[in-house]
């Protein structure tokens, strides 16, 4: 497709279970970002991938969170042993490199609810 695609759009899980969220960026975009947005809040940066460089993981809130990007394209955000405070919308965005002077293209997000 032409835009950033995220799946699933909605995920309900039980506390303690692991979840995987997928992001398929725009073809040709080498930079990929994950953000988290809690209800009515701003965006919290989680992780950033740029080409083959080591990702910037400085925003990951705990070691339960991890992400990978295979083949410089699709990315998966994994949350292990989910907690109720993990409930949020997880947004993925991609951009051309370099970012300076560029814009981010966002997906529609994956809404995670941890019961």
Partner 1 sequence: SQQGEEDPQALSIQEGENATMNCSYKTSINNLQWYRQNSGRGLVHLILIRSNEREKHSGRLRVTLDTSKKSSSLLITASRAADTASYFCATGDQTGANNLFFGTGTRLTVIP
Q: Which is nearer to partner 1, 72 or 80 (CB)?
A: 72
Burial class of 58 by CB neighbour count within 10 A (0 to 12, 13 to 18, 19+): exposed
Q: Is 105 in the site for partner 1 (CB under 8 A)?
A: yes
Q: Which two tokens stand for residue 16?
A: 């303690």
Query: Rounded to 10 degrees, what is the CA torsion of 78, 93, 33, 39?
Result: -60
Distance CA 40, CA 19 (A): 23
Which listed range, 18-26, 66-74, 75-83, 89-97, lies at the site for partner 1 (CB under 8 A)? Answer: 89-97
Shortest Å, Cβ 95 to partner 1: 8
Q: Convert residues 31-70 into a mask of x (bound to partner 1 by CB under 8 A) and - (unbound).
A: x-x-x-----xxx-x--x-x-----x--x-----------
Query: Rounded to 10 degrees, what is the CA torsion of 62, 35, 53, 56?
Result: -40
Contacts with partner 1, residue ranges (CB under 8 A): 4, 31, 33, 35, 41-43, 45, 48, 50, 56, 59, 91, 93, 97-101, 103-109
């Amino acid at each position: 497709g032409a835009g950033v695609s995220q799946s699933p759009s909605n995920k309900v899980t039980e506390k303690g279970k692991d979840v995987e969220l997928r992001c398929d960026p725009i073809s040709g975009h080498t930079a990929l970002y994950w953000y988290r947005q809690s209800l009515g809040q701003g965006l919290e940066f989680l992780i950033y991938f740029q080409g083959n460089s080591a990702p910037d993981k400085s925003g990951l809130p705990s070691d339960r969170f991890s992400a990978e990007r295979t083949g410089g394209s699709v990315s998966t955000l994994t949350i292990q042993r989910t907690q109720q405070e993990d409930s949020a919308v997880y947004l993925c965005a991609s951009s051309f490199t370099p970012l300076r002077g560029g814009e981010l293209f966002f997906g529609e997000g994956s809404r995670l609810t941890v019961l």
